[in-house]
Amino acid sequence: MASEAEGWILTATGRAPTNIAVIKYWGKRDEALILPVNDSISVTLDPDHLSATTTVAVSPTFDRDRMWLNGQEISVSGDRFQNCLREIRKLARDVEDVDKGVLIRKEDWQKLHVHIASYNNFPTAAGLASSAAGFACLVFTLAKLMNVDQDHGKLSSIARQGSGSACRSLYGGFVKWAMGDDASGSDSIAVPLAPESHWNDLVIIIAVVSAKQKETSSTSGMRDSVETSPLLQYRAQTVVPHRVQKMEEAIRSRDFASFAMIISLVERWNKAEGIPQVAYTFDAGPNAVLISQNRNTAGLLLRQLLFCFPPPPDSELSSYVIGDKSILGEAGVQSMNDIKALPPPFLNKDGSPCQKIAGEISYFICTKLGSGPKLLDQSQSLISPSSGLPK
Ligand code: ADE
């Protein structure tokens, strides 16, 4: 390591999206390497609405690896962080910053410590795959800082060791996590199926039921399923391979009816219309993710949602519907009074109007398909270039 200035700090800042699976990852065949029992397919969500931003800094003055998440210091001693840091350090190369008079040789990275500051622009631990965005962002940004020359497939296999579904957040659009069969996990990587531009009229509305931490972690839920469910193996070996193939075809041909049919249906509306209007999916949390074919359908959907799940009377509409607020325009709703005046969307079988359920939904996020990780410029750094601590 050669440097003119002793107290130098180098940083890199990146942003990575979260993703929502439409063919789910459920069950590990190797807990340490996070290897799944089936392929999965996801859509990457718009990073403007759902993403992690992470700055990684390196300096000879840092005495240990440290991390701050949403402003709070957290431990990086767990296996998941350690595995990602170790694997990325192995791939690090020489880095030179001529302006700062700094040259880091690839072998120096084993001794240098990093500071990591990250924040999520959506609730962490609300079942919205924050760790997927977080680990994808961490690995992507460390790779930039350390001048790693590897494709996103390789980076995805490292991010996978932080959080399984993080591997899918290395790409935008539609992404497959190929389960692979090698015991080392080298072929358990994300593969892009189609970029976000391929089917960019899809609108995604997330009904955030609870922004609280979920009670059962995905890790323990999956472990219980693997240990106790005879159906899980059947799902992985018989059901999923066929569905993955059908889903890939539906994405390729932008066949919304097949796409929605595979996920399942928003029963009544879709039945009433004859052809599917909206698809829905859930991850291991209570939040519903609703996918509509275009903005017009999304507007109609949002009208129905706002009728059935009205905001609390003293709240602001602008904090009840967040993300792409222009969908409110499609819904013909601009104020709390407009919501009060909405007609009931559909009748129950007995002719009674659909019931209003107040207070169950915290808020709705309107979003769309998004792009993969991006490097941000220095002005967006979360770490002070003089102290090396979060700003
Ligand atoms: N877990 C949840 N959010 C995270 C983030 N931004 N970085 C790392 N781990 C996370």
Residues 282-297 pLDDT 10s: 777 778 899 999 999 9
Residue 264 has pLDDT above 50, yes or no: no
Task: Domain 205-368: give its CATH code.
Answer: 3.30.70.890
Residue 265 has pLDDT above 70, yes or no: no
Helix (H, G, I), strand (E, B) or coil at 271: helix
What spacing in Å lies between the alpha carbon of 68 and ligand 1's midpoint?
Answer: 9
Closest residue CA from atom 8 of ligand 1? 134
Residues 37-46 pLDDT 10s: 999 999 999 9
Residue 165 CB less than 6 A away from ligand 1: no
In the DSSP assignment, the letter for residue 265 is: B
Q: Is the pTM of this model over 0.95?
A: no
Residue 124 CB less than 6 A away from ligand 1: yes
Best residue among 122, 130, 142 to mutate for probing ligand 1's pocket (most ligand atoms within 8 Å of CB) is 130
Residue 132 CB less than 6 A away from ligand 1: no
Residue 371 has pLDDT above 80, yes or no: yes
Residue 84 CB less than 6 A away from ligand 1: no
Closest residue CA from atom 5 of ligand 1? 134
What spacing in Å lies between the alpha carbon of 70 and ligand 1's midpoint?
Answer: 9
Residue 263 has pLDDT above 50, yes or no: no
* Domain locations along the chain: 2-196+375-380, 205-368
Token code pair at residue 60:
């000879």
Best residue among 82, 131, 158, 219 to mutate for probing ligand 1's pocket (most ligand atoms within 8 Å of CB) is 131
Output the pLDDT for position 339.
93
- Mean pLDDT, residues 129-156 taken together: 96
Residues 174-210 pLDDT 10s: 999 999 999 999 999 999 999 999 999 999 999 888 6
Distances from the Cα of 381 to the Cα of 74, 99, 129, 362, 389, angstroms:
19, 18, 23, 31, 11
Output the pLDDT for position 8.
95
* Whole-angstrom distance, CA of residue 387 vs CA of residue 136: 26
Q: With cut-offs at 50, 70 and 90, classify the pLDDT of residue 343.
A: confident
Count of Cβ atoms closer than 10 Å to residue 101 Cβ: 12
Does 3.20.20.70 match the CATH number of domain 2-196+375-380?
no
Contact (CB, 8 A) for 243 and 281: no
Residues 123-132 pLDDT 10s: 775 677 889 9
Q: Please give the sequence-ordered ranges of beta strands (E in DSSP) within the chain, or none if there are none.
A: 2-3, 10-17, 19-23, 28-30, 35-36, 40-44, 51-59, 66-69, 72-74, 95-97, 102-104, 113-120, 174-178, 189-194, 203-208, 278-282, 288-292, 321-323, 363-368, 374-376
Closest residue CA from atom 9 of ligand 1? 134
